[in-house]
Structure 1
Amino acid sequence: MPWACGPIYAFHPGNGRVGGQNMGPVMISVPHAGRAYSAAMADRSRVPPERLMKLEDRYADRLIAGLLECGYPALVAHLPRAVIDLNRDPRDIDPKMIADIPRHLPIIQTAKQRAGLGLFPRSLPRYGGLWRGAMSWAEAEGRIKLGHEAYHQRLAEALNHCAAYHDQIILMDVHSMPPLATMQGDGKRADVVVGDLYGASASSRLSEIALNVVKAHGLVGALNQPYPGSYVLERHGRPLNGRHAIQLEISRDLYLDDSLAEPGEGMAAMQVLLVDMAEQLTRAVSREPRTSRDDGHGWACAAE
């Protein structure tokens, strides 16, 4: 696999203490943390490595260090987003990037793909095209099967294991975002965006708990704006079946240095925030059994 540099992902099984059973009800994923580029990918790139870095959720894997210490299970991607975006539908392929794409391949076109950020990132704003030439379908298919599908299969297995011990489980999908330029209605800029696909991937109550944790830590939170979530939530969030999934976008200026390239002084505070959030979500889902009657989001209704 010339496009890979080491393992595709790292799975951390947790220590079993969280939730008091074999595996707790909270699972962590970090799909955009990869930052090791193979020599083949570097040779193919039209831009220097620091440009490809713009695609990364820079050091997002270090944000979950406290969660790992506390025993939460986690799946962390090592494969860079520049190789394949694990948070995109595998059909979201720009045909211009494949030299010999099969004629009847079922592909979809999305706004993100048109902006250069489909399954195989093509370009970045202000920097233009990223790659020299098109790849072969054999290479693209290998990236999909050995990278994208392998990651999501492992995540599904871990979530199935969680669900074997708990009626309600939740996936915290950890990302980072550039500092937002736009303000909310109250004139404040969001520091953390909680995404639940507008209620399709998680109970609104769980999203509210996550936002309350952000607020309790003195930060500004937003729900679904401008990042509601994408393929990870679409594939793994099934709230009607007791499987919730939320996306967390943390502003990079909160945990990186002024250059937004290396860890900064705020890293520890963000690690504490995520541990606090996971603990509160653990308590919330542990209190509520799945029932045949719910509020439309897989959450048991209180008596009327």
Structure 2
Amino acid sequence: MNPSQPAPFGLVPGAAGSPVLLHVPHSSRTVPHDVREGILLDDEALESELDRITDSHTADLAARASAACASTPWRFVNGLSRLVVDPERFPDDREEMLAVGMGAVYTRTTLREPLRPPGADPEPLLDRWFHPYARAMTAAVDERLAATGRAVVIDVHSYPSAALPYELHGTGPRPPVCLGTDGFHTPPGLLARAEAEFARFGGTGLNSPFPGTYVPLKHYGKDARVSALMIEIRRDLYMTEPGGPAGPGLGMLASALAALVDGLTDE
């Protein structure tokens, strides 16, 4: 990435004493022109793929929740589509999504159709976007640790009401709100708070259809001061699928997220 160009992702400051970092990695539909040239889809097919793959309105959800909080959380927001790089994947063969062509750099679509030419080199995209993103997110977590002695990473995602072909766990439950957890980084109290706040939407489920949560590799499995939870909201709760406008459910979800954040900040 050219250092003279602004990063397409960034940290939105919150309150100095807040340990909470809302992470929004998949909300954008932006694909730079030069990256678009390496994608096999025509314009219509690309727009359809963006409808399916984008966690639409989640950046707005996080922004609304932040504005409603008594103590504003920090936000780390990706300004590029996950079709450029997916910052939440491992950059190597540890990533199980490689089986369906959806590692750090996707080679297949949600319909398992070719997205990039066979043998396309992922390294330029990793060097330009993935690694700088990882460094910046790591720094954001380090800053919360230095300021407050702890960091709470809340991943804000959404998922379609009907399973897509790429999903490895698509035959499992699809609750209104899926909570992704990690055995080391998700303490029982964090999970219980989220279950209580999101129960009003018809219930929550654990790790289905999407398991796990995001923690920078520097801290993953090593630093218990970093806690984390992934919130996956089923899209029919707040928007017209697959890529349509948001509805009134967005505001109600933002209120629940704000209540969760305030509870975590007051611990």
TM category, shorter: 0.7 to 0.9
Letter in 2 for 1:208: A
Partner of 1:146: 128
Which one has a bigger Cα radius of gyration?
1
- Aligned equivalents of 1:49, 1:246: Cα separation in 2: 30
Partner residue of 1:50? 47
- CA distances 1:88-141 after superposition (whole Å, capped 9, x unpaired): 1111xxxxxxxxxxxxxxxx16431111211111112435111245434xxx33
Query: 1:164: which partner in 2?
Result: 146
Contact 1:32 1:81 in 2 (8 A): yes
In structure 2, the partner of 1:79 is 80
Q: State the match for 2:96 in structure 1.
A: 111
Deviations 1:226-256 (A, max 9, x none): 32225x2363555853110111111111121
Counterpart of 1:29 in structure 2 is 23
Amino acid at match of 1:8: P
Question: Which residue identity does 2:91 align to in structure 1?
Answer: P
| Contact 2:39–2:116, Cα closer than 8 Å, also in 1 | yes
Q: Distance in 1 between matches of 2:190 and 2:207?
A: 13
Following superposition, the deviation at residue 55 of structure 1 comes to 2.2
**Equivalent pair of 1:180/1:190 in contact (CA under 8 Å):** no
Contact 2:184 2:224 (8 Å CA) reproduced: no
Q: Which amino acid is the alignment partner of residue 135 of structure 2?
A: Q
* Root-mean-square deviation over aligned CA pairs: 2.6
| Cα deviation 1:56-94 (Å, max 9, x = unaligned) | 212221111223324211110012111111111111xxx
For the residues of structure 2 that align with 1:36 and 1:218, how far apart are their CA atoms?
30
Q: What is the CA–CA distance in structure 2 between the aligned matches of 1:248 and 1:167, rounded to whole Å? A: 23
**Maintained 8 Å contact 2:178/2:206:** yes
Indicate conservation of the 8 Å contact 2:185/2:224, yes or no: no
Taking the aligned partners of 1:123 and 1:193, their CA distance within structure 2 comes to 25
**Amino acid aligned to 2:10:** A
Matched residue type, 1:38: P
Moved more, 77-86 or 122-131: 122-131
- Counterpart residue number, 1:193: 178
Structure 1 position 135 matched with structure 2 position 135:
no
The number of residues matched between the two structures is 250
- What is the CA-CA distance between 1:11 and the residue it aligns to? 1.5
Q: Which runs of 4+ in 1 moved over 4 A?
A: 180-184, 236-240
Unaligned 5+ runs, structure 1? 17-21, 92-107, 287-304
- Decide whether aligned partners of structure 1 residues 41 and 112 sit closer, same or farther in structure 2, where only a CA change above 3 A counts: same
1:102 aligned partner = none
Which of 250, 262, 279 does residue 262 from structure 2 map onto?
Answer: 279
Q: Which residue is 1:38 aligned to? A: 32
Match of 1:205 among 175, 179, 189: 189
Alpha carbons of structure 1 residues 276 and 118: separation in structure 2 relative to 1, 3 Å: same
Percent identity over paired residues: 24
Unaligned stretches of 5+ residues in structure 2: 164-170
Q: Deviations over 1:203-244 (max 9, x none)?
A: 1221121111111x33310122232225x2363555853110
Which structure ranks higher in relative contact order (CA pairs < 8 Å, sequence separation ≥ 6)? Answer: 2
